[in-house]
């Protein structure tokens, strides 16, 4: 790594434009590509003053495509603490490479087929309608002090039903399972927030333990701005998180044993079960149907064959994490942007009425027609994505990067260098996205004057062979939720008297509402909303 530091630093110093930035404690991610703008190129070198670590950070779509397209030459840096934390319950798709990753992907893939995606849509429609009728009682006005108070709960209910085959209503009696899922998901969020502080790079372990005690309250912030409702539903402590991790492991093992002992599941011998269509059940189906394919035993001892119970739980845990936190916060950002841009919300509403003129519930078959709904979701993902995808260079190589003037240059990358695909950098790069700070869903419509959107510059689900396996799950849930909510309610920002008296401008309001911090995904500080029922 010392050689990487010297080579990259010398490159950044010796060539105008490509420069080094020095990241200290809790530097975090930025909403916009300021570092790249200041550098003048779509590549910068990050150097930590607290260690010998150096990395090359990219916001160039062509260079990123080169990295994403060669999985074997650019594996994940699995030794990083963040990946160790994501293996809390066992090895899984996210924290694996090589033949181990291929095996996980081969077994998990069938579980994310159309059977489950249809169930995701059906269950989301059912859950949202229950919200309207049973919780909100079809009220004219709904006040949300913080959008994640709603979206975290909604996403959890969808995961419970379509993910685990355990329907949880809004007034569910299954509080133990519901609470365990909440605390496990929030607990890992806390771990990743602590990881962003980079304590392990500069502080002894006893300091890290002390900080854990001090930051119990951070979980409340992470799970949603500390409103009373959020604290009651999602608040927890590190002690409760540890217990929740044990409870989750126990629950998963019980569910595996129950399904194997006959819990209504039959196997057809072709990788598809004849029982329920939830993700957990389909993963067990696929695992039972998977035949040892003669995979050679790897040097690290990984054996080709069916998943062990620990591997099953590890992968289920990752699906829970991705399906809950990331989707919930995407929902929150969508609502925030529709409230800030009422003209875009009106265009979306008119589109929904055009596709579903009789006011009925959307169906799975309507999805291809709901193009503007998906465009709104994509634009929110462009503006508020997960931050970065990290890779390691396995051998000395080069990449070609560009600047806004169309000039190119070759950057040497030494073996062992960490390469960071910065989603904020590429998503706010004006070479690909004109006026990148403006919420403009039409970028993703085929009727856009710019034509098809630049797919290589859109990486909220990563790209290449290692792109997110749950993308369709998330998109389908999002389309159902946004279609139903916008079709029934107008979304507005809740005006705080303090800011009204100040005469807050639109730009000031946007900066206030769109503040967030990096956890597993980009987490909003506070999004206060008012929902007003539409006439008719």
Helix (H) or strand (E) holding 54: strand 54-58
Kindly report the pTM of this predicted structure: 0.85
Nearest-angstrom CA–CA distance, 242 and 184: 8
Nearest-angstrom CA–CA distance, 155 and 148: 10
Specify binding-site residues: 468
Residue partners of 389: CB distance under 8 A and separation at least 6: 420, 421, 423, 459, 462
**How does pLDDT run along the chain (536 residues), one tens digit per residue?**
555 555 555 555 545 456 666 554 334 444 446 778 888 889 998 876 655 567 899 999 999 999 999 888 999 988 877 787 778 788 899 889 999 999 999 999 999 999 999 999 999 999 999 999 999 999 999 999 999 999 999 998 999 899 988 888 887 655 667 777 766 666 665 555 555 544 444 444 444 445 445 444 444 444 444 444 444 444 456 677 677 778 878 888 888 888 777 754 443 334 333 458 999 999 988 888 775 443 344 444 445 688 888 999 889 888 877 778 889 999 999 999 999 999 999 999 999 999 999 989 999 999 999 999 999 999 999 999 877 889 999 999 999 999 888 899 999 999 999 999 999 999 999 999 999 999 999 999 987 666 689 999 999 999 998 899 999 999 999 999 999 999 999 999 998 766 666 778 888 888 889 888 877 788 899 999 999 999 86
CA 32, 393, 109 angle in degrees (round to 5)? 80
Look up residue 424 and give its two tokens: 């904020």
The ranges of the chain annotated as CATH 1.10.630.10 are: 89-385+465-536
Closest CA to 473 of 158, 117, 110: 117
Closest CA to 477 of 93, 116, 224: 116
Specify binding-site residues for heme: 468
Q: Supply the CATH classification number for the domain 89-385+465-536.
A: 1.10.630.10
């Amino acid at each position: 790594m010392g050689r990487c530091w010297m080579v990259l630093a010398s490159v950044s110093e010796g060539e105008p434009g490509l420069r080094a930035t020095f990241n200290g404690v809790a530097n975090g991610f930025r909403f916009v590509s300021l570092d790249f703008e200041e550098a003048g190129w779509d590549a910068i070198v990050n150097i930590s003053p607290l260690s010998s670590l150096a990395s090359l950070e990219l916001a160039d779509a062509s260079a990123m495509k080169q990295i994403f397209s060669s999985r074997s030459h650019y594996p994940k840096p699995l030794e990083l603490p963040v990946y160790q934390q994501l293996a809390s319950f066992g090895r899984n798709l996210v924290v694996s490479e090589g033949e181990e990753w291929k095996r996980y992907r081969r077994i998990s893939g069938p579980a994310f087929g159309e059977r489950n995606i249809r169930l995701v849509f059906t269950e989301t429609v059912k859950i949202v309608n229950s919200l309207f009728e049973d919780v909100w009682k079809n009220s004219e006005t709904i006040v949300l002090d913080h959008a994640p108070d709603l979206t975290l709960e909604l996403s959890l209910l969808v995961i419970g039903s379509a993910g685990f085959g355990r329907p949880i209503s809004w007034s569910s009696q299954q509080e133990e399972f519901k609470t365990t899922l909440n605390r496990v998901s929030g607990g890992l969020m806390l771990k990743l927030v602590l990881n962003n502080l980079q304590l392990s790079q500069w502080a002894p372990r006893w300091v890290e333990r002390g900080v854990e005690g001090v930051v119990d309250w951070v979980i409340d912030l992470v799970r949603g701005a500390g409103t009373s409702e959020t604290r009651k539903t999602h608040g927890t402590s590190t002690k409760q998180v540890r217990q929740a991790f044990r409870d989750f492991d126990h629950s998963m093992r019980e569910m595996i044993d129950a399904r194997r002992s006959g819990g209504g599941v039959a196997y057809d011998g072709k990788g598809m079960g004849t029982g329920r269509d939830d993700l957990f059940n389909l993963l067990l189906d696929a695992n039972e149907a998977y035949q040892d394919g003669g995979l050679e035993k790897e040097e690290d001892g990984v054996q080709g064959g069916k998943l062990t119970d620990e591997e099953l739980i590890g992968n289920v845990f990752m699906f829970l994490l991705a399906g809950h936190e990331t989707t919930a916060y995407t929902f929150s950002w969508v609502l925030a942007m529709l409230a800030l841009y009422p003209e875009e919300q009106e265009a979306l509403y008119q589109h929904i009425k055009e596709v579903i003129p009789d006011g009925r519930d959307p169906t799975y078959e309507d999805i291809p027609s709901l193009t503007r709904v998906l465009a709104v979701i994509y634009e929110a993902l462009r503006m508020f994505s997960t931050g970065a995808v990290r890779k390691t260079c396995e051998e000395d190589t080069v990449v070609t990067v560009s600047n806004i003037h169309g000039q190119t240059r070759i950057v040497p990358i030494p073996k062992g260098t960490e390469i960071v695909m910065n989603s904020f950098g590429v998503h706010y790069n004006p070479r690909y996205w004109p006026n990148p700070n403006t919420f403009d869903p039409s970028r993703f419509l085929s009727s856009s004057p710019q034509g098809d959107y630049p797919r290589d510059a859109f990486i909220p689900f990563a790209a290449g062979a290692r792109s997110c396996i749950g993308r369709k799950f998330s998109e389908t849930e999002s389309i159902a939720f946004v279609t139903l909510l916008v079709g029934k309610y107008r979304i507005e920002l809740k005006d705080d008297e303090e800011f009204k008296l100040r005469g807050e401008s639109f730009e000031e309001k946007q900066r206030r509402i769109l503040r967030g911090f990096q956890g597993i995904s980009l987490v909003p500080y506070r999004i206060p909303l008012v929902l007003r029922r539409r006439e008719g």
